Amino acid sequence: MEVNKPLEIRLKAKAAELGFAACGVARADAAPRTAERLRQWLAEGAHGDMLWMEARAHHRESPAGLWPEVQSVIALGMSYAPREDPLRLADETDRARISVYAQGVDYHDVVKKALKALARWLVAEAGGDLKVFVDTAPVMEKPLAEAAGLGWQGKHTNLVSRTDGSWLFLGAIYTTLSLAPDTAGRDSCGSCDACQRACPTHAFPAPYRLDARRCISYLTIEHAGPIPLEFRAALGNRIYGCDDCLAACPWNKFAETARANRAFLPRAELAAPRLADLLGLDDAGFRQVFSGSPIKRIGRDRMMRNCLIAAGNSGDAGLVAAVAPLLNDANEVVREAAEWAMAQLNPSPRP
């Protein structure tokens, strides 16, 4: 009978029922090198403007640093494996490229809802205290997921799974229960460096090390000021995030789109939006288009900055009419990006 099976087996079955493609258990102290690596990364300034990484570093260094009572970590992954090539819009310069993970509904809401349901089940089955986390909390999900056997941190620093490639949203449950741990994931990157070679801005100074200040995902999402000139051409038509290093991973060939949660299927208006349409959005329009999307978090001004860089890279003089009104935008960063885009498009002087 089901009730006679070990708790860990029943836990994984329940996780699968709730939409998780992966579930594993690690001891709370199973990733001891996390603190050392985090300190080095912060000391190098590689976190850029993400001051929240530094402010709560002591909580990130270990699960016990955040919650001393924790005994076990349940790591979970929800697949968002794309059905289409994430790089298919690279040459369609009139279109904007949005990272695969942000084309559907906000994963925070979907993953957290499932985590809470699993947490309620676990308390009912075995008791104990627990806490649930997606990536808005000071939790180092990737090394913990590796320790729990979900995969390994690849040379692009993201988790790689033998069954789901690089396409997993991660969540974690901290619990006071002492659960039987799974075997940790084993690095299977070998000599492959496809992810590093794929990076348009050379954001990997070495394997397994990321300089966020050079990363397109960081620049388009976390960075608030003007995009540094040296990276603008490399952004191409990317306006939110970048999938290049993830898409390059050979392990993706084993990722089954059937395992992906349907909530993450692309919304039609976000799969291949026209730059001209996005450039015309005011704040209310931005909120309407990106309602229920993680993109909403960056706000209209940052999105306009990104779209203007993409417009400048397009070489399409037909976008001048959409760029021109933004030369007088209320936001200084948007105005600067509009001036740059106009200079790149080099419109003919008006008589």
Q: What is the pLDDT of residues 151-208, one digit of tens each?
A: 999 999 999 999 999 999 999 999 999 999 999 999 999 999 999 999 999 999 999 9
- Residue 240's H or E segment, with its range, is strand 238-240
- Structure confidence by residue, pLDDT tens digits, 68-102: 999 999 999 999 999 999 999 999 999 999 999 99
Kind and range of the H or E run holding 109: helix 107-126
For residue 329, pLDDT over 80 is answered with yes
Q: pTM of the prediction?
A: 0.94
Residue 348 pLDDT: 60
* Of 53-57, 63-67, 79-83, 172-176, the least confident: 53-57
How confident is residue 258, by pLDDT bands cut at 50, 70 and 90?
A: confident
Question: Does residue 121 surpass a pLDDT of 80?
Answer: yes
* Position 237 pLDDT exceeds 60: yes
108, 115 contact by CB (below 8 A): no
Q: Residue 146's beta-bridge partner residues?
A: none
Give the pLDDT score at 7: 97
Q: Which residue has the higher pLDDT, 24 or 263?
A: 24
Query: What distances in angstroms separate CA 202 from CA 146, 195, 221, 250, 316, one per listed residue?
Result: 25, 10, 18, 19, 27
What residues are annotated to the active site?
A: 135
Confidence band (pLDDT; 50, 70, 90) for 52? confident
pLDDT at 55: 87
Contacts of 295 (CB under 8 A, 6+ apart): 98, 102, 240, 270, 303
In whole angstroms, give the CA distance from residue 276 to residue 293. 20
What is the Cα Rg of the chain in Å? Answer: 21
Whether 3 shows a pLDDT value over 70: the answer reads no
116 membership: H or E segment, kind and range:
helix 107-126
Q: Length of the chain, please?
A: 351
Q: What is the DSSP letter of 103?
A: S
**Percentage, residues of the chain above pLDDT 70:** 98
Confidence tier at 351 by pLDDT (50, 70, 90): very low
Res. 349: pLDDT tops 60:
no
